[in-house]
Amino acid sequence: MDSQQGGAGELSSSPAHPPSRYESQKRRDWNTFLQYLKNHKPPLTLSRCSGAHVIEFLKYLDQFGKTKVHVTACPYFGHANPPDPCSCPLKQAWGSLDALIGRLRAAYEENGGRRESNPFGTRAVRIYLREVRGGQAKARGIPYEKKKRKRPTTTAVSAASGTQPPGGAAGDDSSGGTTANVGTVTAAATTNS
Radius of gyration of the chain (CA): 25
Long-range contacts of 149-157 (CB under 8 A, 24+ apart): 151/176, 151/177, 151/181, 155/182, 156/185
Give pLDDT tens digits for 114-144.
999 999 999 999 999 999 999 998 888 876 6
Provide the residue type at 184 as one letter.
Answer: T
Kindly list the distances between the CA atom of residue 84 and the CA atoms of 37, 70, 137, 172, 181, in Å, as whole numbers in the listed order. 39, 12, 19, 52, 44
Please tell me the distance from the alpha carbon of residue 69 to that of residue 71, in angstroms, as a whole number.
Answer: 7
Q: Please state, for a pLDDT cut of 90, what percent of the chain lies above it.
A: 44
- Average pLDDT estimate for 70-85: 87
Q: Mean pLDDT for the chain?
A: 77
Give pLDDT tens digits for 84-114.
889 999 999 999 999 999 999 999 999 998 9
The residues, ordered by sequence, that sit 6+ positions from 44 with a Cβ below 8 Å of its Cβ are 37, 53
